[in-house]
Amino acid sequence: MIHHAARTLLPDAAYRHMAACWHLRSKFPWVWGVARERGRPETLIHFGTAPGDDLLCTIVLRELARRGQKKIWMMSNYPELFEGNADVAQVVPDEDRFRDYAILMCGKLQQLEYAPIDWEKDQSKPPSRHIIAELCARAGINGSIAVHPYLHLSAAEKEKQAWAGDWIAIQSSGLAGRWPMRNKQWFPERFQQVVDRLKDDFQFVQIGSQTDPLLQGTTDLRGKTSIRETAAILSNCRLYVGNVGFLMHLARAVECPSVIIFGGREAPWQSGYTCNINLYSDLPCAPCWLWNRCDYNHKCMDIISTDAVVAAIEEKLRQPRENLAVDYLSI
């Protein structure tokens, strides 16, 4: 309890602050412990529970920092995504107590999303603009933004994976992800055909989950690397080939050019990067944003041939390996 004398000795603002602190300490005793341990945020950012969601938030963090925001906290169970990132003050676990703490201490919790899900329809609401623009807008950002996720690797981390220079990284499936979507998946047997066509001229390293279908003729690192080790491999590789998903965004974060098989579930202007070659099927039903249900037997994926993917890889390999062009959008 605050002594009454403090009321006459302190300015009004200081007294109100002290009274608020005592109120919080008495009503929510755990708040005091968090405050002493971690301090106080100005903003807490939270998106989802998958690493791809959190990686996209690095763009939100960068744009908020560019606009003068300080003491930005990120709620994530993947703190390794934010190592070395000066745009975020702290990374806290995805727990309700930190949501409550942010609301009590600063009143500003930014809960982000870009495509609300209708579980009965097995469908996300198709966004009317790039998902990164949507995330930034929901965080209160306006003006020009750079469509570029960020992951900061040390020189030592890159050097450890330098063996992957001039290799092609490939993933055969994303169905082991936290939110699997069949409508994002090309066919593993066609990924195998791509490897078979090119393995005499290029070395392939297969990254992704341990349960992804194994591709013969590759160096198999499925499930054997951490997020940061995978990022370091991509930072050295000549090219990444795969579906829409986390590794597409991770490759962009570390300047690895990519050939991405979009099919028709979503369009490149909604979630992709123009520095990549994006194979999109512009069918009347596309982009549908359905997760797993398809009334057309995945025609949008079926019409993307092995020849088309090999031609895209060869085209990309003819381009110099350098930092990728950055897209800018206006909100």
Residue 15 pLDDT greater than 80, yes or no: no
**What does pTM read for this prediction?**
0.89
Average pLDDT for residues 74-98, to the nearest whole number? Answer: 94
Question: 142: which 2 tokens?
Answer: 């306006």
Choose between 168 and 106: higher pLDDT. 168
User: Torsion over CA of 69, 75, 79 and 81, rounded to 10 degrees?
Assistant: -60
Dihedrals phi, psi of 307, to nearest 5 degrees: -55, -40
Distance CA 250, CA 155 (A): 17
User: Torsion over CA of 233, 239, 242 and 243, rounded to 10 degrees?
Assistant: 100
**pLDDT at res. 33:** 65
Distance CA 302, CA 208 (A): 23
pLDDT tens digits, one per residue of 183-231: 999 999 999 999 999 999 999 999 999 999 999 999 999 999 999 999 9
**pLDDT at res. 101:** 78
What is the sign of the dihedral through the CA atoms of 146, 148, 149 and 153? negative
Q: Domains along the chain?
A: 8-112 (no CATH), 155-330 (3.40.50.2000)
pLDDT tens digits, one per residue of 20-40: 444 445 545 666 567 666 777
pLDDT tens digits, one per residue of 269-300: 999 999 999 999 999 999 999 999 999 999 99
